Chains A and B, each alone.
Chain A
Amino acid sequence: SQKIEQNSEALNIQEGKTATLTCNYTNYSPAYLQWYRQDPGRGPVFLLLIRENEKEKRKERLKVTFDTTLKQSLFHITASQPADSATYLCALAPNSGNTPLVFGKGTRLSVIA
């Protein structure tokens, strides 16, 4: 069956450290993978998109990698701050056509001052 797994429900890290979140998928061959941030009571907010032929994408303190051989994406937040505390969702487009995003369950990140 098709699955998207974000490896931990919750992750606690110390302020200033790098947070690394993992997204693994099974039985998909996604053309695109996206990461979203969701705060309590709010809708998800887009952060980064990476294509299947890209290994890495960066935006300010954020970095995403995409390994189609391992079927995995890693999401890194460097120099983490308490304001980074939120749930982070991995989402993939199953193919290159007009298909809706499929989401993982998310990882709740808490950055402790």
Chain B
Amino acid sequence: GAGVSQTPSNKVTEKGKYVELRCDPISGHTALYWYRQSLGQGPEFLIYFQGTGAADDSGLPNDRFFAVRPEGSVSTLKIQRTERGDSAVYLCASSQRSTGKTEAFFGQGTRLTVV
């Protein structure tokens, strides 16, 4: 595709449920990033993949959050036992190399609401 695609665009779930958020990066981009953005805040880093491996997962808030990128392309962010505080927009970005040196391309985000 032409850009980074995230699905679903909106997700409403009940507290305690499990959710999966999908990111389809730009073809050929080896770096993939997940961020979380709350209202009025900037994107907050969660996890970064270089290829298939998680190069940095220091931003994951706790062990309820997990992400995979098994074939080095599509990534899935998984949240177990969701809590109301997990409600936010989850953004995915990809870049050709490290985002420090090159621009990052963001998807439109998945708005997660935990009720």
A interface residues (Cβ-Cβ under 8 A, vs B): 4, 9, 30-32, 34, 41-46, 49, 89, 91-106
Q: Could you write out 12 A-B pairs with CB less than 8 Å apart?
A: A30-B100, A31-B100, A31-B101, A41-B109, A43-B93, A89-B43, A93-B99, A98-B50, A99-B56, A101-B33, A101-B104, A106-B41
Chain A contacts for B103, CB-based, 8 A? 34, 46, 49
B67 at the interface (CB under 8 A from A): no
Rounded to whole angstroms, the CA-CA distance of A43 and B26 in the bound complex is 14
Size of the chain B interface, CB-CB below 8 angstroms: 30
Chain B contacts for A31, CB-based, 8 A? 100-101
Chain A contacts for B35, CB-based, 8 A? 103
Chain B: interface secondary structure? loop
Taking a contact as CB atoms under 8 Å apart, the answer to whether B97 and A106 are in contact is no
Chain A contacts for B56, CB-based, 8 A? 99-100
Assuming A97-B98, A99-B100, what are 7 further A-B pairs, CB within 8 angstroms? A43-B93, A46-B103, A89-B43, A99-B56, A100-B99, A101-B33, A101-B100
Chain A contacts for B109, CB-based, 8 A? 41-43
Cβ-neighbour of A103 out of B42, B48, B50, B102 (below 8 A): B42
B interface residues (Cβ-Cβ under 8 A, vs A): 4, 31, 33, 35, 40-45, 48, 50, 55-56, 59, 91, 93, 97-109
Cβ-neighbour of B55 out of A43, A98, A101, A106 (below 8 A): A98
